[in-house]
Amino acid sequence: MHWPIVIRRVEGHSMEPTLKQGAIIFATPLLSVGKGDVVVARHEDKDIIKRVTKIKDEKYFLEGDNSSHSRDSRRFGLVEKSEVLGRVIPSR
């Protein structure tokens, strides 16, 4: 069985201290997404890595953990479920 995996490199400081710039993350669309999860989403033709802080009508409010360095839903609003590429798999 092949699981779809999304592999991305963290760019910027918006998810610090949780994820540091340059870190490699793995995400999968096979895991359900809930409040508090970190996801990879597509926004304005760019992949972003953010935390889900609210869910309303299958739309997600996404925020960076480092709010002073994050362009997120506080600026661009809710993200459609279809734009979420996958939930980040926590590293151990």
Residues with catalytic function: 14, 50
Cα 87 to Cα 76: distance, rounded to the nearest angstrom: 20
Q: Quick one: tokens of 30?
A: 């096979």
**Dihedral sign, CA of 25, 29, 35, 39?**
positive
